[in-house]
Amino acid sequence: MHLGSAWYPEQWPESRWPRDLELMRETGFTVARITEFAWSRLEPADGVFTLDWVQRVVDLAAQHGVAIVLGTPSAAPPAWLTFAHPEVLPQHEHGHVQGHGARCHYRAGSPVYQSYSNRIAGEMARRFGRHPNVIGWQIDNEYWRMSRDPETTAQFQGWLRRRYGTLDALNAAWSGAYWSQDYFAWDQIEAPNPGANPGLMLAWQQFCSHLYVEFQHGQIQAIRAHAEARQWICHNFHPNDDFDREAIGAELDLVAWDAYIHRTPRFVPGENAHDCDRIRGLKRKNIWIMETQPGTVNWSRLNLHQPQGQMRTMAWQMVGHGADAVLYWQWRSAPGGQEQYHGSVLGQDGEPRPRQVEIARIGADFAKTSALLDGSTPRNQVAILDRWRDRWVLRHQPHHHAFNCVEHAQSYYAPLQRAGVTVDVLDRHLDLMPYRLVIAPHLHLGDDMIAFALHAFVAMGGHVVLGMRSFFKDDENRLAPERQPGPLAELLGGRVRDHYTVEASLSVAGDLGAGRVRSFAEDLETTSPETQVWLRYDPAATAEAGWLANRPAVLHRRVGSGSITYVGAWLDDALADQLIGRVLALARMEGHLRVPVGVEVCARWQGERRILIVVNHTDAAQVVPLPQPMRDHLGDRVSSDQIELAGYGVAVLTTV
Ligand code: GAL
């Protein structure tokens, strides 16, 4: 277990570095990430490398017991480079070329930029690839932007040509006959604008991901040529949905992500947990939190500070979801630069800010539990299939302003959490055999492979839940030739007749109880006598939904010892709890613990030993019943048949 932060020693006099490292140790830090934005100080002129200062930082950090992760600096090209080679600069909509003065002003597809980036990465690796205090590498920083310049566009056209072979095939895949959208030459195809053809939009997203795979590959090779195998290579993903992170993660040894409270001003525990699970799902291996906020950020519309205790519960939640390291961004506020208002551990004066005390407590926690948690990892029997590409296409055509994949996925994730059940989140990984229950909240782009995998899973006794809008389209983002759920309709013994947008909400009732659904509602029908209707829309449905009066909203069919359930609507919390309770019972699964509202239980396994991490996300004390007395490794206590957690309290439990 590592705790640490991003550190920018190049922004401060060298005489200050020892004090920084002493303070890091006092805070319980064991690692620092450096250099990911330091290109102008690593190579101040073309081909002139000044790495001695990095050597001194790494050596000094070693003396203080602080391990180093080196970032390659390609997210911040120096001015000498962009002025000598303006062709590396990205071009955004309306032809705007982004110049020097901020960061990320580069084009991932520029061969010139790639060769400069690979060269500096290689130089760094030549110097530090064997340094015992360098434990790993981070490539670039949060891949983020795409350029729409002519060279990238030509690369896109080449990629399409390799993918489709002929323009006829491309025109057929993208329904070129619609609005005369046929192409007659490859160079007529441009990057999509808002409202673009759905096939073009999807292909562009895939191409962008491919471009970053290639960009990253060059740097990985440059590092691997010199670095010892023990030094891992990672990237710190941003949690947004813009790229195919599974494709980008494939060549990395480790994936990390930057966990900021970025969608809402206040922390939503379920969303952060879900993001951690999605990132862990990329390689189905433990992750690093390469950045998180020390209390607050500066870029939100409302930059609230987290309440006291929540940095600690957030850190422990992330450990519970597979994080082996938590690093804060950043160590000390820089006097200049764009992020003066951002949270930091030290103030600009170099003295700890009040929040440092809480972070130091996390350091003490990690020191206490590191040996216990070493080598442990989450292991689950429930998987959520939530793919990047479904999110792209649903964002492109949400059909309802309030339809949002993050929240919709939460409507399945949250009831599992409330039931004390932990999950894996998968993208294209289709080995479903370790699981007993697979839930796909919005598997919008169906294809034969996924249909086959789900079919086989049910035939082997697995339980599948498909949410609304599943199998609506094919993998070219065209309407699927059959009504939903297409290739699984026969297995379900039912199908979708039609779909409706719901302005506010609709009432539904049936075996799962009574409640309301929102945003989008599908009218289902059964085609087999074995298929049960678990919920129906209200017979007295309002005018807007008259089409739905008394129609089925949720179908369920037992298939041998397995089952398939199709949910045609966005259920409210109580109904979602009922649905999840039912399918968990069918899959003969129980939560790790019965937790009160606001308390989360996570589990990591070390062989057959289960370590429970129980996190109280509320400011009030909570009592959690336990199946037997357990040892709390944080509180140094052995519990009775229950454990009391203070407001924002955490317990790390094993059986006695
Ligand atoms: C991240 C970025 C960091 C820093 C941080 C501030 O997205 O990787 O360099 O800018 O945001 O919240």
pLDDT tens digits for 486-508? 999 999 999 999 999 998 899 99
Q: Is there an atom of ligand 1 within 6 Å of 572 CB?
A: no
CA distance 205 to 633: 46
Binned at pLDDT 50, 70 and 90, residue 639 comes out as: confident
Measuring CA to CA, which residue among 499, 498, 496 is closest to residue 485? 496
Listed in sequence order, the residues at least 6 apart from 433 whose beta carbon sits closer than 8 Å to its beta carbon are: 457, 460
Measuring CA to CA, which residue among 437, 376, 417 is closest to residue 601? 417
> What Å distances lie between residue 561 and 42, 588, 649, CA to CA?
62, 11, 41
Choosing from 139, 291, 327, 341 the residue with most ligand 1 atoms within 8 A of its CB, the one to mutate for a pocket test is: 291
Beta bridge partners of 18: none
User: What's the whole-number mean pLDDT along residues 103-131?
Assistant: 97
Residue 241: the pLDDT is: 78
The string of pLDDT tens digits covering residues 332-344 is 999 899 999 999 9
The whole-angstrom distance between residue 21's C-alpha and the CA centroid of its chain comes to: 31
Is the pLDDT at 442 greater than 70? The verdict is yes
User: What's the whole-number mean pLDDT along residues 128-134?
Assistant: 98
Binned at pLDDT 50, 70 and 90, residue 259 comes out as: very high
Same topology between domain 2-148+212-373 and domain 599-655? no
Residue 332: the pLDDT is: 97
| This prediction's pTM | 0.97
Looking up tokens 């030739």 gives 481
Residue 545: the pLDDT is: 62
> What Å distances lie between residue 299 and 36, 126, 135, 260, 261, CA to CA?
20, 36, 31, 11, 11
The string of pLDDT tens digits covering residues 507-535 is 999 999 999 999 999 999 999 999 999 99
589: CA distance to ligand 1 center in Å?
40
From the CB of residue 477, how many other CB atoms can be counted at a distance below 10 Å? 25
Is the pLDDT at 543 greater than 70? The verdict is no
Binned at pLDDT 50, 70 and 90, residue 240 comes out as: confident
Q: Is there an atom of ligand 1 within 6 Å of 342 CB?
A: yes
Binned at pLDDT 50, 70 and 90, residue 542 comes out as: low
Q: Is there an atom of ligand 1 within 6 Å of 339 CB?
A: yes
Pairing, β 532-537 against β 513-526 = unpaired
Is the pLDDT at 81 greater than 70? The verdict is yes
Binned at pLDDT 50, 70 and 90, residue 294 comes out as: very high
Binned at pLDDT 50, 70 and 90, residue 242 comes out as: confident
The string of pLDDT tens digits covering residues 562-616 is 999 999 999 999 999 999 999 999 999 999 999 999 999 999 999 999 999 999 9
CA distance 383 to 423: 5
Q: 382-586, which class in CATH?
A: alpha beta
Q: Is there an atom of ligand 1 within 6 Å of 648 CB?
A: no
Q: 599-655, which class in CATH?
A: mainly beta
Domain ranges for the chain: 2-148+212-373, 382-586, 599-655
Looking up tokens 């990690």 gives 366
Q: Is there an atom of ligand 1 within 6 Å of 328 CB?
A: no
Binned at pLDDT 50, 70 and 90, residue 30 comes out as: very high
Q: Is there an atom of ligand 1 within 6 Å of 291 CB?
A: yes
Q: Is there an atom of ligand 1 within 6 Å of 577 CB?
A: no
The string of pLDDT tens digits covering residues 362-416 is 999 999 999 999 999 999 999 999 999 999 999 999 999 999 999 999 999 999 9
Q: Is there an atom of ligand 1 within 6 Å of 329 CB?
A: yes
Is the pLDDT at 10 greater than 80? The verdict is yes
Question: 2-148+212-373 domain in CATH 3.20.20.80?
Answer: yes
Helix (H) or strand (E) holding 564: strand 562-567
Q: Read out DSSP for 136-176?
A: EEE-SSS------SHHHHHHHHHHHHHHHSSHHHHHHHTTT
Is the pLDDT at 429 greater than 90? The verdict is no
53: CA distance to ligand 1 center in Å?
24
85: CA distance to ligand 1 center in Å?
26
